[in-house]
Amino acid sequence: MSFRNPPCLKNRKVFVTGATGLIGSHLTRFLVEGGAEVTVLIRDHVPHNYLLDGDPPRFNTVTGDLQDYRLVERALAEYEAEVVFHLGAQTQVQIANRSPVGTFKSNIEGTWNLLEACRQVPTVKAVLVASSDKAYGQAETLPYTEETPLRGDHPYDASKSCADIIARTYWVTYQLPVAIIRSGNVFGVGDLNFSRIIPGTIRSVLLGESPIIRSDGTLVRDYFYVKDAAMAYLATAEALLADTEKIGGEAFNFSNELRMTVLEVTQRILEIMGRDDLEPVILDQAPDEILQQSLSAEKARRVLGWTPQYPFEQGVEETVEFVRGMLD
């Protein structure tokens, strides 16, 4: 499926944090294919990373950590960044529960470092900050809209709530042109974290094993294909560059608005892969998880003209082929 890379980003100097992450790797590839001059900040080299596999990269690479403010500011200044996509974060709920301080430093301090550096670099014209549906916490009314209060209770959720609020602060106080992106559970090609339900289930099926469900199977989530997520960042950047006064400081939910329990997702994958005979193993070992989450993407459709392009089944089929290739 083709995508529309905004022409306003062609020849722009773009800086991406978290470029080797699931969304970041697709976003960076889209930017390069669309003619942007891309610089990425990479902390760790991960073997078989989707961004780095294949042909030699056509982007500049800065090696370092978001917690190193001077490095971040130097990189933005020396590469004359105009558009900044901030996706760098610790993204695993289980790791956050085990090591909250590391998650807070990465997700909160890393965000304020990036935003403050952007404020100090005069070439920056737009900053897109990755938040999450987890920033809303456990809400009484679903789906979440952008007006739902940010009430993350557990370490990962709280880190995203804080980073989200700090991002808006930089617009309100300093008029830094920033917009915030909140998406549901992203899955797809490039995801090598097999503790996640979709790639983990696919790998189990390809190995002829019963899929493992860490929770009790009743948790409700949105499952959002990675290419749609990457295109959501591009659409938001285009709108922010076109009308900073309208989009500055705004948050946008992105979702295909398809709510499913973890067990339903597993069963759908088994059907798509033709292995209904495999029975999921339910461990019921996922404490401190939000019970139900779903996002309304009405604002993104209305304000940005954005709609998802990938049905769930197509996303799963593409992910199956990716995981199959990794196992061969």
Domain range for 16 is 8-187+223-257+293-309
Q: Which residue has the tokens 């992450």?
A: 21
Number of domain units in the chain: 1
What is the average pLDDT across 307-314? 96
Six-digit token string for 27: 């976003």
DSSP conformational letter for 133: G
Q: What are phi and psi of 249, to 5 degrees?
A: 80, -5
- On whether residue 243 sits in a domain, the answer given is yes
- On whether residue 282 sits in a domain, the answer given is no
- On whether residue 262 sits in a domain, the answer given is no
Question: CB of 176 within 8 A of CB of 115?
Answer: yes
Q: Which residue has the tokens 């029975």?
A: 279
Sorted by sequence, the CB contacts under 8 Å of residue 199 that are 6+ apart come out as 187, 191, 192, 193, 319, 323
Is residue 156 annotated as a catalytic residue, yes or no?
yes
Contacts 24+ apart (CB under 8 A), 139-144: 142/292, 142/293, 142/294, 143/255, 143/257, 143/259, 143/294, 143/295, 143/296, 144/182, 144/253, 144/293, 144/294, 144/295, 144/296
d(CA 233, CA 27): 8
Average pLDDT of the chain is: 94
Q: What percent of the chain has pLDDT over 90?
A: 87
The CATH number that applies at residue 40 is: 3.40.50.720
313: β partners: none
Residue scoring higher pLDDT (195 or 3): 195
Residue scoring higher pLDDT (46 or 322): 322
230: β partners: none
Q: pLDDT tens digits, residue range 28-71? A: 999 999 999 999 999 887 777 888 777 667 999 999 999 999 99
Q: What percent of the chain has pLDDT over 70?
A: 98
- On whether residue 320 sits in a domain, the answer given is no
d(CA 180, CA 146): 10
Q: List the catalytic residue out of 156, 170, 233, 310.
A: 156
Sorted by sequence, the CB contacts under 8 Å of residue 302 that are 6+ apart come out as none
- On whether residue 211 sits in a domain, the answer given is no
- On whether residue 213 sits in a domain, the answer given is no
d(CA 232, CA 27): 9
pTM (predicted TM-score): 0.95
d(CA 46, CA 53): 10
Question: CB of 80 within 8 A of CB of 123?
Answer: yes
Q: pLDDT tens digits, residue range 99-135? A: 999 999 999 999 999 999 999 999 999 999 999 999 9
- At residue 262, does pLDDT exceed 50? yes
pLDDT band (50, 70, 90) for residue 191: very high
What is the average pLDDT across 274-300? 93
- On whether residue 269 sits in a domain, the answer given is no
E strands in 124-276: 126-130, 178-183, 185-187, 212-213, 220-225, 251-254, 259-261
Residue 45 is predicted with a pLDDT of: 78
Residue scoring higher pLDDT (143 or 1): 143
Q: pLDDT tens digits, residue range 208-241? A: 999 999 999 999 999 999 999 999 999 999 999 9
Query: Is 246 exposed, middle or buried (CB count within 10 Å of its CB: 0-12, 13-18, 19+)?
Result: exposed
Residue 3 is predicted with a pLDDT of: 52
Question: CB of 193 within 8 A of CB of 319?
Answer: no
- At residue 242, does pLDDT exceed 90? yes
- On whether residue 214 sits in a domain, the answer given is no
d(CA 80, CA 65): 19
d(CA 226, CA 54): 19
Through-space distance between the first and last CA atoms of the chain, rounded to whole angstroms: 25
- At residue 144, does pLDDT exceed 50? yes
- At residue 2, does pLDDT exceed 50? no
